[in-house]
Amino acid sequence: MELIFLERLLMAPLLALAAAALVGVLRGFGSVRRLRMWAVLTGLLTGAYIAVWGSGIPYESALLQALFALFVLTGTATLLRLVDLIFWDWFLSTRRQVSVPRLAVDLFKLIAIVGVIIAILKYDYGMELSGLLVTSTVVSAVIGLAIQDMLANVAAGLGVQIEKPFSVGDWLLIGTHEGIVTQLNWRTLTLLTRDRHEVLVPNSTVSKTEVVNFSRPTRLQRTHATIGIAYRHPPGIVKAALARAAQSCPEVAADPPVEILVKSFDDFAITYDVRFWITDFSRLLQITDDVYSRCWYELQRANISIPFPTRDVTIRTASDEQEMQAADQRRREIFSVLRPLQVFEPLSDEQIQTLVGAAALQRFMQGEMLVRQGDRGESLFVIRSGKVRIDKSLDGGHATTMAMMGAGEFFGEMSLLTGEPRTASIIAEDETEVVMVSKEAFAPVLTADTGIIVGLSAALETRARNTAERIADLPQTPGGMKAPAPTAQLLRKIGRFFGLDEQ
């Protein structure tokens, strides 16, 4: 009898190794394939058990007991896999639309397998486990202390799975760690940070720490950008410029709208809080960078300065003569840009010089919109450097790129001379610098010499025959394009726009 018990005791490690090997082999298979494999193994072990038993080997033999134990374990695994597919996945999840935490399913499987192992040890191997557990208090205490952290993590993980405060794919801030949840298991939660680092956070730590979920209740989240502006600029003008810049960012949500608030009056600047909403928190840094960049360009075009700290000392050694030379150089550069334009052929050099004095140099970053289709316009743009594209929406559909423009080309002459709405959107493809001539700059030239209207009308009619500019600057018709307006009609439009017909 003692020999039989010793043989069974020696077979126990072999059973454990065999079970571990089976689990390791089956981990790489899908659910249905694993069910099929467990069923095949159960059948093979059943056949082996029957064959050995039929050969006359007594039931008390270690080999027969081991085959019986393996048969029971694989049969239990097959049954649990079948329950997993039919009850948990199909009946509850698919039919009843009940979401059961995976940890609860795994816990049910663990309890079932542990119960089967205890039954095998007690009834097949004759071990009295109750007496062993009662008498081995010291061993129980040591084991309890050794696995208390693991049990705390499992309990916390089970609570997270039941409550579902977050799920895989949510963007979380846990303590000092921020990232997207990639995995939830028994012991840990895995975060993937912006730097592509994996952070394993124990479930017990998650349950004790404040967790910020940037993906709930919706993925719409508000963020901030703070910018200091010089005191001499009125807040109303600054707020309008900052709002235009933030709203032009394609990844900033249109609703709720951008909000600009005065945050504080600091030593050397008024600090403004640009509040905007985003839907992709994983791109927070890129979107914030885009907002800051667009704010810089917009502020530069509006001549709104971002001041130096008051402790900064700026020493300027340039003389008045050098400043005059720099201004003259700038005027010559703008003159060289405006003089070759076809639309300004009727103007003399002196009249072009008048425009140069009132023209503005403006810079746009890649992706910024210089003009928007449908907006009213009173200015002409000449590309000094960079490249833009012409996008047009026909019949309310998606925007289609109609043409590209580079250095030396211009657009908006019809808006400058007649005030007609923009019929296409112009977007900077690269960082682009333009010379802008507005109605206010052109009005003194036109009122001083009304005779140039005839030449301007003829130049506009010729210019309008160009396909790309006809799409960008002439009004639409039901057919999507419009033939150039007759010179007489252009004359009336120009005179009416500048108020010359009233003189």
Answer with the one of 94, 115, 135 that is the final residue of a domain.
135
> Is 31 inside a domain boundary?
yes
Q: Are residues 258 and 118 in the same domain?
A: no
Supply φ then ψ for residue 377, to 5 degrees: -140, 150
Supply φ then ψ for residue 267, to 5 degrees: -60, -40
> Is 189 inside a domain boundary?
no
Per-residue confidence band for 45, with pLDDT thresholds at 50, 70 and 90: low
Residues sharing a CB contact under 8 Å with residue 221, sequence separation 6 or more, in sequence order: 214, 277, 278, 279, 281
> Is 387 inside a domain boundary?
yes
Distance CA 101, CA 286 (A): 35
Q: Are strands 259-265 and 211-213 parallel, antiparallel or unpaired?
A: unpaired
Distances from the Cα of 295 to the Cα of 26, 82, 189, 245, 460, angstroms: 57, 60, 39, 5, 35
The per-residue DSSP string of 264-313 comes to: EE-SS-EEEEEEEEES-GGGHHHHHHHHHHHHHHHHHHTT---PPPTT--
pLDDT above 60 (res 205): yes
> Is 263 inside a domain boundary?
yes
Residue the block writes with tokens 């103007």: 347
Distance CA 482, CA 490 (A): 14
> Is 254 inside a domain boundary?
yes
213-217, 311-315, 412-416, 462-466: which is most confident: 213-217
* Token pair for 397: 């559909």
Element (H, E) at 260: strand 259-265
Distance CA 411, CA 472 (A): 7
Q: Are residues 295 and 342 in the same domain?
A: no
Classify residue 194 by its DSSP letter: T
- pLDDT at residue number 478: 42
Residues 385/432, Cβ–Cβ less than 8 Å: yes
Note every long-range contact of 366-370, with CB atoms under 8 Å and residues 24 or more positions apart, other chains counting. Answer: 366/428, 366/429, 366/430, 366/431, 367/250, 367/290, 367/427, 367/428, 368/248, 368/294, 368/297, 368/427, 368/428, 369/248, 369/425, 369/426, 369/427, 369/428, 370/426, 370/427, 370/428, 370/432, 370/434
**Cis peptide leading into 484, omega within 30 of 0?**
no
Distance CA 36, CA 26 (A): 10
Q: Are residues 285 and 372 in the same domain?
A: no
pLDDT above 50 (res 11): no
Q: Do you know the residue count of the chain?
A: 503
Answer with the one of 86, 104, 135 that is the final residue of a domain.
135
> Is 190 inside a domain boundary?
no
- The whole-number average pLDDT for the span 13-19 is 48
Q: Are strands 177-184 and 171-174 parallel, antiparallel or unpaired?
A: antiparallel
Q: Are strands 171-174 and 211-213 parallel, antiparallel or unpaired?
A: antiparallel
**Helices then strands, each counted (H, E), the chain:** 16, 16
The dihedral formed by the CA atoms of 370, 376, 381 and 385, expressed in degrees to the nearest 10: 10
Q: Are residues 339 and 459 in the same domain?
A: yes
What are the pLDDT digits (tens) for 64-82?
667 677 767 777 777 777 7
Distance CA 383, CA 426 (A): 12
> Is 426 inside a domain boundary?
yes
Distance CA 311, CA 252 (A): 35
- pLDDT at residue number 58: 63
- pLDDT at residue number 269: 93
CA 493: distance to chain centroid? 47
Averaged confidence pLDDT in the chain: 77
Rg (CA), the chain: 39
The helix/strand/coil state of 433 is strand
Element (H, E) at 358: helix 349-358
pLDDT above 50 (res 4): no
Side-chain half-sphere CA neighbours of 222 within 13 A: 10
- The whole-number average pLDDT for the span 359-364 is 89
- pLDDT at residue number 414: 82
Answer with the one of 120, 135, 150 that is the final residue of a domain.
135
Q: The CATH number of the domain where 254 resides is what?
A: 3.30.70.100
Q: Among 166-170, 212-216, 224-228, whose mean pLDDT is lowest? A: 166-170
Residues sharing a CB contact under 8 Å with residue 384, sequence separation 6 or more, in sequence order: 333, 337, 361, 407, 433, 434, 435
Is the CA virtual torsion 102, 103, 105, 106 positive or negative? positive
Q: Which residue has the higher pLDDT, 203 or 106?
A: 203
- pLDDT at residue number 377: 85
* Token pair for 315: 């020493």
Q: Are residues 112 and 232 in the same domain?
A: no
Q: The CATH number of the domain where 414 resides is what?
A: 2.60.120.10
- pLDDT at residue number 454: 76
74, 79, 66: which is closest to 121 by C-alpha?
A: 66
> Is 486 inside a domain boundary?
yes
- The whole-number average pLDDT for the span 488-499 is 76
Q: Are residues 263 and 332 in the same domain?
A: no
Report the share of the chain in percent with pLDDT over 90.
28
pLDDT above 50 (res 469): no
Please tell me the total count of domains within the chain.
Answer: 3
Q: Are residues 353 and 493 in the same domain?
A: yes
Residues 221/271, Cβ–Cβ less than 8 Å: no
Q: Are residues 353 and 250 in the same domain?
A: no
Supply φ then ψ for residue 400, to 5 degrees: -120, 135
Q: Are residues 49 and 119 in the same domain?
A: yes
Q: Are residues 294 and 382 in the same domain?
A: no
Q: Are residues 410 and 336 in the same domain?
A: yes
- 359: containing domain: 322-502
Q: Are residues 294 and 328 in the same domain?
A: no
